[in-house]
């Protein structure tokens, strides 16, 4: 590429030619002490179909926007004094374009200033990209603020963690904070969780697999907040983890709301169980005793009539006694459902055996086996919850499954107790049990809520023709730490 | 043959009265009535009935504990529990405490009479024949 010049043979010719050939989107004008343009070149000049002839021989302030003539002349003169001046302006021929104008001195032999150069760079696209980047950053910051999500980046090789402004705000750190990973853990992670977090970090050094991890951080004001961290590593050509990027979402309020919901649900269940207990006691101490007494009186009347009574009267009294006995049995069953005595007296396993036996009597089940790994009694609240889930699950087996075999299993694993009720029945398509009425009908919501209220997990595995497995997993925690206490 | 001598213990008064009336009508001799387990133990020691017909859940002292004390004091006296709780686990505990039978309230009245006669027969089989010297003589 060669610059077009008015014959001059100036000393700066080679310099601006070099610039012109290597810088994109640029126009270079060289001017003398009289501000006359003696050279004009640049990729931007040709890209626009302009010719050097449009510039050569004219004074610099004349080729720009008339409004800029004064500042252009002042900048040229400053360059002639050895100074560098810059300003931005819109194009004269294309006002939609934005130009960055730079005025620099042009030294001649023995470094004497013989003129100046104007380096005009079209920065329209650059500025647009900058604005878009700025807008994206703003949107990201706004999204992080709304979602209470902060982002972070860990340069594994240099062990430097940088965090977003939002994360700084959430945990009360100065904006632009950065630290080493060990320092960050020491400053932010509660002591009880340090070991666990350090294990995760150790894994991150070699394993870039995406992860999600819930942890707590201590804010600068001393409050502890709960975060859901997600991260993913990046590796170099050798497969080394060089960087991790991720987010930390503040889920403190969500966790609080969930805890509160669980607490309230537990209180509802406690109230419900209490009401059931009182009703069962009333029925047991009052109605069952009275009906039994009436039965004894009827039998006494039968005996008193004896041989002197008519066979019809005797038959009638016998029938009434029998009906009464059936009613008492039914009432006792109701009491058993309201307050399963065997659960209170003998624990979960015994209660489940009773329930399994009852299920066999009520359905076409050939067998309903109960297996248990329990050694001793559980927290009564946990026992009651698992029993109620099993009761509902077995009711579903009886009413809907058309199963021949069922299994109720209790296992203890990893600090949890797991109840599993499985059957070989018709199963169902979980996708078709979306109607609220259906779900309520199967008691699925009630079972799930009961389990989740105690911080447990509930799962149903089923498919048409494949039987059903209902699984409830509850943590074996200290009753004092239970939600709702 | 003497009429079977019964002690009837239940904290539900209406039921106890109805039960006593029925048993008397059926030919049993009710030698005493009590309203709790402590009554049952004291009266069993004092009256030495053939059979104690007793509720399970009662104030002061429950039927299971009362049964153990009665069987300690009067081994030949038979205890029949009559309760509203239909529970195999409790039935097992009653058997371990030394009860002769565990009946559920609201069952067929004929079963009650039959059980009491069986308890009576068992009691007689445990007693020494008339005229024989006391065991510890």
Domains of chain B: 5-107 (3.40.50.2300)
Cα gap B32→B40, rounded to integer Å: 9
Final residue in a domain of this structure, among A188, A217, A250: A250
Stretch (H or E) spanning A201: helix A191-204
CB contact under 8 A, A296 and B90: no
Smallest CA–CA distance from B25 into chain A, residue:
A300
CA torsion sign for A179, A181, A186, A191 is positive
| A425 secondary structure, DSSP code | S
Stretch (H or E) spanning A16: helix A13-22
Give the C-alpha distances (Å, rounded to integers) separating A171 from A174, A231, A349, B83. 9, 18, 48, 64
* CA A278 to chain CA centroid, nearest Å: 43
| B107 secondary structure, DSSP code | S
Cα gap B7→B42, rounded to integer Å: 11
Q: Are residues A385 and A477 in the same domain?
A: yes
Q: Are residues A213 and A184 in the same domain?
A: yes
Stretch (H or E) spanning A168: helix A165-171
* Chain A nearest CA to B3, separation (Å): 17
* Chain B nearest CA to A182, separation (Å): 58
pLDDT at A6: 47
Q: Which of A252, A256, A254, A205 is nearest to A231 (CA)?
A: A205
* Chain B nearest CA to A336, separation (Å): 9
Residue A135 falls within a domain, yes or no? no
Any chain B CB within 8 A of the CB of A361?
Answer: no
**Are the CB atoms for A92 and A63 separated by under 8 Å?**
yes
pLDDT at A375: 84
CB contact under 8 A, B84 and A290: no
Q: Are residues A279 and A236 in the same domain?
A: no
Give the pairing type, strands A149-155 and A113-122: unpaired
Q: Are residues A433 and A483 in the same domain?
A: yes
**Are the CB atoms for A125 and A141 separated by under 8 Å?**
no
Q: Are residues A49 and A73 in the same domain?
A: yes
Residue % of chain B over a pLDDT of 90:
62
Residue A127 falls within a domain, yes or no? no
Q: Which ranges of A306-443 would DSSP assign to H, the alpha helix?
A: 311-338, 341-346, 348-362, 380-396, 436-442
Q: Is A176 helix (H, G, I), strand (E, B) or coil?
A: coil
Number of H helices, E strands in chain A: 16, 17
- Return the bridge partners of A294, or none: none
**Domain membership of residue A170 as a residue range:** 142-250
pLDDT at A355: 87
* CATH number of A38's domain: 3.30.450.20
Residue A317 falls within a domain, yes or no? yes
* CATH number of A380's domain: 3.30.565.10
Q: Which of A481, A482, A419 is nearest to A454 (CA)?
A: A482
Residue A132 falls within a domain, yes or no? no
Q: Which of A193, A180, A191 is nearest to A152 (CA)?
A: A180
The token duo for A126 is 């650059």
Cα gap A347→A340, rounded to integer Å: 10
Q: Which of A80, A74, A2, A85 is nearest to A39 (CA)?
A: A2
- Return the bridge partners of A460, or none: A470
Q: Is A365 helix (H, G, I), strand (E, B) or coil?
A: coil
**Are the CB atoms for B87 and B63 separated by under 8 Å?**
no
Task: List, edge to edge, every strand of the sheet that includes A405-413.
Answer: A367-372, A405-413, A416-423, A468-475, A457-462
Q: Are residues A84 and A175 in the same domain?
A: no
Q: Which ranges of chain B would DSSP assign to H, the alpha helix?
A: 13-25, 37-47, 63-73, 88-97, 109-126
Q: Are residues A10 and A37 in the same domain?
A: yes
Interface list for A 284-303 with B (CB within 8 A): 284-285, 288-300, 303
Cα gap A389→A420, rounded to integer Å: 10
CA atoms within a 13 Å half-sphere pointing along the CA-CB vector of A348: 27
pLDDT at B42: 95
Cα gap B40→B63, rounded to integer Å: 9
Residue A133 falls within a domain, yes or no? no
Residue A136 falls within a domain, yes or no? no
- Tell which of B23, B87, B112 to mutate to test the A interface (max A CBs under 10 Å): B87
pLDDT at A481: 59
CB contact under 8 A, A341 and B90: yes
C-alpha angle B18-B19-B20 in degrees, rounded to nearest 5? 95
Total of domains in chain A: 4
**Are the CB atoms for A395 and A443 separated by under 8 Å?**
yes
- Tell which of A282, A292, A346 to mutate to test the B interface (max B CBs under 10 Å): A292
Final residue in a domain of this structure, among A314, A339, A364: A339
User: In angstroms, how far is the first alpha carbon of chain A from the final one?
Assistant: 83
Q: Using a CB-CB distance cutoff of 8 angstroms, which residues of chain A are in contact with residue B89?
A: 342, 345-346, 350
* Chain B nearest CA to A369, separation (Å): 17
Q: What is the ipTM of this complex?
A: 0.86
| A150 secondary structure, DSSP code | E
- Tell which of B33, B89, B102, B115 to mutate to test the A interface (max A CBs under 10 Å): B89
The token duo for A461 is 């595995």
The confidence band for B134, taking pLDDT boundaries of 50, 70 and 90, is very low
Q: Are residues A352 and A315 in the same domain?
A: no
**Are the CB atoms for B58 and B83 separated by under 8 Å?**
no
Q: Are residues A374 and A420 in the same domain?
A: yes
Q: From the CB of residue B100, how many other CB atoms can be counted at a distance below 10 Å?
A: 22
pLDDT at B121: 87
Q: Are residues A197 and A75 in the same domain?
A: no
Residue A137 falls within a domain, yes or no? no
pLDDT digits (tens, 9 = 90+) for B17-69: 999 999 999 899 999 999 999 999 999 999 999 999 999 989 899 999 999 99
Cα gap A447→B134, rounded to integer Å: 65
Final residue in a domain of this structure, among A198, A223, A250: A250
pLDDT at A18: 64
Q: How much is the pTM?
A: 0.57
Q: Which residues contact A265 (CB under 8 A, 6 or more apart)?
A: A449, A450, A452, A453, A484
Give the C-alpha distances (Å, rounded to integers) separating A354 from A326, A347, A390, A451, B47. 20, 11, 11, 22, 39
| B105 secondary structure, DSSP code | T
Q: From the CB of residue B21, how many other CB atoms can be counted at a distance below 10 Å?
A: 19
The token duo for A39 is 């050279």
C-alpha angle A400-A405-A406 in degrees, rounded to nearest 5? 75
Stretch (H or E) spanning A235: strand A224-235
Q: Are residues A181 and A235 in the same domain?
A: yes
As a whole number of angstroms, the longest Cα–Cα distance in chain B is: 46
Residue of A288, A300, A354 lying closest to B105 (CB–CB): A288
Mean pLDDT of B111-134: 75
CB contact under 8 A, A293 and B84: no
**Are the CB atoms for A358 and A391 separated by under 8 Å?**
no
Cα gap A141→A169, rounded to integer Å: 11
Q: Which ranges of A363-443 would DSSP assign to H, the alpha helix?
A: 380-396, 436-442
* Chain A nearest CA to B134, separation (Å): 39
Q: Are residues A223 and A316 in the same domain?
A: no
- Tell which of A289, A317, A341 to mutate to test the B interface (max B CBs under 10 Å): A289
Q: Which ranges of A421-480 would DSSP assign to H, the alpha helix?
A: 436-442, 444-453
Q: Which residues contact A340 (CB under 8 A, 6 or more apart)?
A: A351, A354, A355, A387
pLDDT lower than 50: segments of chain A: 1-7, 9, 11, 435-437, 485
CB contact under 8 A, A296 and B104: no
CB contact under 8 A, A297 and B86: no
Give the pairing type, strands A416-423 and A405-413: antiparallel
């Amino acid at each position: 590429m060669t610059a077009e010049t008015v014959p001059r043979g100036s000393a700066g010719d080679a310099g601006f030619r070099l610039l012109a050939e290597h810088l994109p989107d640029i126009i270079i004008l060289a001017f003398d002490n009289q501000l006359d343009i003696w050279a004009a070149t640049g990729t931007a000049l040709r890209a626009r179909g302009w010719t050097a002839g449009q510039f050569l021989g004219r004074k610099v302030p004349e080729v720009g926007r008339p409004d800029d003539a004064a500042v252009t002349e002042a900048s040229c003169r400053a360059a002639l004094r050895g100074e560098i001046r810059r300003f931005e302006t819109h194009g004269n021929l294309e006002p939609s374009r934005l130009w960055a104008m730079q005025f620099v001195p042009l030294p001649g032999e023995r470094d004497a200033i013989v003129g100046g150069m104007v380096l005009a760079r079209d920065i329209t696209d650059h500025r647009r990209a900058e604005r878009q980047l700025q807008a994206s950053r703003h949107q990201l910051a706004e999204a992080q603020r709304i979602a209470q999500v902060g982002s972070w980046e860990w340069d594994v090789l240099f062990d430097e963690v940088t965090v977003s402004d939002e994360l700084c705000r959430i945990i009360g750190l100065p904006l632009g904070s950065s630290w080493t990973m060990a320092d960050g853990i020491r400053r932010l992670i509660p002591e009880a969780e340090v070991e666990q977090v350090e294990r995760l970090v150790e894994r991150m050094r070699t394993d870039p697999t995406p992860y999600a991890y819930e942890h707590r951080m201590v804010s600068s004001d001393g409050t502890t907040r709960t975060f859901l961290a997600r991260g993913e590593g990046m590796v170099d050509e050798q497969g080394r983890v060089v960087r991790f990027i991720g987010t930390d979402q503040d889920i403190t309020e969500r966790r609080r709301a969930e805890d509160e919901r669980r607490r309230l649900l537990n209180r509802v269940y406690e109230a419900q169980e209490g009401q059931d207990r009182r009703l069962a006691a009333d029925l047991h101490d009052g109605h069952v005793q009275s009906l039994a007494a009436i039965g004894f009186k009827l039998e006494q009347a039968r005996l008193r009539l004896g041989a002197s009574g008519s066979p019809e009267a005797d038959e009638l009294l016998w029938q009434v006694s029998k009906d009464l006995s059936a009613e008492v049995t039914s009432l006792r069953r109701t009491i058993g459902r309201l307050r399963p005595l065997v659960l209170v007296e003998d624990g979960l396993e015994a209660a489940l055996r009773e329930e399994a036996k009852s299920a066999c009597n009520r359905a076409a089940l050939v067998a309903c086996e109960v297996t248990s790994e329990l050694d001793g009694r559980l927290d009564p609240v946990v026992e009651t919850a698992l029993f109620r889930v099993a009761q509902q699950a077995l009711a579903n087996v009886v009413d809907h499954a058309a199963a021949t075999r069922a299994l109720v299993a209790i296992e203890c694993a990893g600090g949890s107790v797991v109840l599993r009720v499985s059957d070989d029945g018709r199963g169902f398509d979980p996708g078709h049990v979306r109607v609220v009425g259906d779900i309520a009908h199967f008691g699925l919501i009630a079972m799930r809520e009961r389990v989740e209220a105690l911080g447990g997990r509930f799962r149903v595995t089923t498919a048409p023709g494949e039987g059903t497995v209902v699984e409830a997993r509850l943590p074996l925690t200290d009753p004092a730490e239970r939600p709702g206490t | 043959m003497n009429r079977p001598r019964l002690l009837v213990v239940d904290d539900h008064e209406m039921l106890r009265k109805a039960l006593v009336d029925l048993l008397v009508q059926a030919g049993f001799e009710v030698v005493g009535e009590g309203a709790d387990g402590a009554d049952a133990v004291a009266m069993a020691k004092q009256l030495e009935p053939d059979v104690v017909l007793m509720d399970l859940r009662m104030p002061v002292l429950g039927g299971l504990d009362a049964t153990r004390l009665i069987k300690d004091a009067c081994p030949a006296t038979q205890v029949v529990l009559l309760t509203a709780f239909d529970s195999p686990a409790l039935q097992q505990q009653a058997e371990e405490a030394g009860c002769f039978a565990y009946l559920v309230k609201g069952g067929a009245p004929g079963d009650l009479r039959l059980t009491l006669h069986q308890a009576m027969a068992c009691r007689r089989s445990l007693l020494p024949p008339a005229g024989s010297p006391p065991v510890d003589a």
